[in-house]
Amino acid sequence: MAEASARRDGATLYVQGELDFESVADLWKATESLFRAEPLHRIDLSGVQRSNSAGVALMVEWLYQARRHQWPLAFVNIPDQMRAIIEVAELETVLPLA
Amino acid sequence: MSKLIITGGVPLYGELRASGAKNAVLPILAATLLADAPVTICNVPHLQDVTTTMELLGRMGVELVVDEKMNIQVDPRSIHTFQAPYELVRTMRASILVLGPLVARFGQAEVSLPGGCAIGSRPVNLHIKGLEAMGADIKVENGYIRARANRLKGAHIVLDLVTVTGTENLLMAAALAQGTTIIENAAREPEVVDLADCLITMGARISGAGTDTLVIDGVESLHGAYYQVLPDRIETGTYLLAGAITGGRVKVKDTRPDNLEAVLLKLEEAGAQVNTGPDWIEVDMNGRRPKAVRIHTAPYPAFPTDMQAQFVALNAVAEGTGMITETVFENRFMHVLELQRMGAQIELEGNTAVSVGIPRLTGAPVMATDLRASASLILAALVAEGDTIVDRIYHIDRGYDCIEEKLSHLGARIRRTPG
């Protein structure tokens, strides 16, 4: 079963592991409280080894939460494989990709 | 509403890859409902109808994930709703394909009646009669087909008419029925065979796929699987015609020549040099103008109705007089009126389009009326003088994966304007 984790450092959230249907649910639970604390401005995805559309769905949810708090948010260091899914889903203009 | 703007007059040259078949992937996505574990579907085309089917399954509670190659993993175990609502069915008639799997696997289904259809009457009574023969209790009320059943039972079903989706719905239902089901006068289309192959990969026991008699020995359950959808023969044929109509040379790779024999024969009749390999087809017109052809549409293996509109466009610019008779659908010549606006000399006599070919059409604003009519207008635009603006292209997005990218790759001058 795929596993993923996230670590906060200042205004940046570093994500690691594989993002699939199961791991994303756990990762959302683990990061939910971060969106009630200090502002997050960047989510660094360089540690994502593999993702499917569940990972992209989590990016959309993170963006939604950031916008609720009016935090400017950018996704950085997106792996090519994940960027390809974002393009398949035609979300490249919706998600703030740096 | 988005539009396509095409500047004609450029012969198309080059090669491209066929996408997965729309008419196969939609029933296969519906078939995943029958499984008791995740099913992964590969070679899925990026089409609006696929998105609609995913939304339909998602609303039922089915879990779907997609990877970067558009492989879709479907896990039906989380399903909680057994309904296909009107707002989805009216945009995609293929939604009816969930009826058989839902009744067979979960004993209940509520599927909206599709309503009117732009290309003529396509009743679903044969689906209903077949499921009733297998023991389902079906009521049509408030615009919905409401079906209930304990485990379906095998039956001997003779279809009054050859129906592709009817055959597919009953095939899927029979896969989990108790005992043996025989479907006579079944559709023989390659997409039906592909569905049967997918079901067999999931553990079903089916024989006779590709003939007019299917024999299905029902099993207790179907398991998860990986399945690669077959290439789209209609998309393949459309791009080959784009090469032929422009006097160019087009090679389509990752396709199946054996599924396109009737179309390839007509391309040869039109003067094209056709070469094939195990998984590719090349059409070369050597710069010549095509010759007009005579065609009767009929169920597979005869000439496909889904290629009729494209050949009407070819005849419009071909040497001589061509005749195309539509015998499958009753109102499938809406593109003729639009082609006439581009200067085509076509007369409709009942269900036959008689064309006197002219060397060149003229660009005009035209309106797509259905999926294959849209393809026909784009082909005509490729050989028209000046710009053709094709409106209502949501029809084309239902069935052609990245059409402007693929045509541009062959040298066409085509662009999309946002609505």
H-helix or E-strand spanning residue B379: helix B371-382
Query: Per-residue confidence at A23, pLDDT binned at 50, 70, 90?
Result: very high
**Six token digits for residue B354:** 């008689």
pLDDT of residue B118: 54
How far is the C-alpha of B401 from the C-alpha of B16, rounded, in Å?
12
Average pLDDT over residues A29-43: 90
What pLDDT score does B176 carry?
98
Over the stretch B197-247, which tens digit does the pLDDT of each residue have?
A: 999 999 999 999 999 999 999 999 999 999 999 999 999 999 999 999 999
Q: Which residues of B touch A54 (CB under 8 A)?
A: 65
CA distance A48 to chain B (A): 14
- Averaged confidence pLDDT in chain A: 92
Structure confidence by residue, pLDDT tens digits, A40-66: 999 999 999 999 999 999 999 999 999
| pLDDT value for B273 | 98
Q: Does any CB of chain A come closer than 8 Å to the CB of residue B65?
A: yes
Q: State residue B330's pLDDT score.
A: 79
Pick from A50, A52, A90 the residue to mutate for testing the B interface (most B CBs within 10 Å): A52
What ipTM does the predicted assembly reach? 0.73
> Given this model, what pLDDT does residue B62 score?
96
pTM of the model: 0.90
Token look-up 């008639």 returns B93
User: B350: closest CA among B369, B327, B368, B366?
Assistant: B327
How many beta-carbon pairs under 8 angstroms link A with B?
25
Of A81, A82, A88, the CB nearest to B66: A88
- Which residue among A21, A54, A81 places its CB closest to the CB of B68? A81
Contact yes or no for A21 and B65 at CB 8 A:
yes
- Greatest alpha-carbon pair distance for chain B in Å reads 62
pLDDT value, residue B120: 56
Contact B222, B36 (CB under 8 A): yes
B46 and chain A in contact, CB less than 8 A: yes
Nearest CA distance, B231 vs chain A (angstrom): 19
Closest in A20, A81, A82 to B65, CB measured:
A20
Q: Chain B residue with minimal CA distance to A20? A: B65
Q: Is B402 a catalytic residue?
A: no
Interface test with B, best of A18, A20, A51, A85 (most B CBs within 10 A): A85
Are residues A81 and B70, on separate chains, in Cβ contact within 8 Å? no
Q: Which of B42, B117, B198, B402 is catalytic?
A: B117
User: How many angstroms separate the CA of residue B104 from the nearest CA in chain A?
Assistant: 27
pLDDT (mean) for A18-31: 92
Q: Is the CA virtual torsion B283, B286, B289, B293 positive or negative?
A: negative
Do B216 and B100 form a contact (C-beta atoms < 8 A)? no
- DSSP symbols for B253-275: ES--GGGGHHHHHHHHHTT-EEE
Predicted pLDDT at B93: 85
Nearest-CA residue of chain A relative to B401? A88
Q: What is the mean pLDDT of each run of 10 residues along chain B (419 residues)?
A: 93 97 97 98 94 95 92 96 92 92 98 68 84 97 94 97 95 98 97 98 98 98 98 97 98 97 98 98 97 96 96 98 92 92 96 96 94 94 97 89 94 91
Q: Which residues of A touch B75 (CB under 8 A)?
A: 21
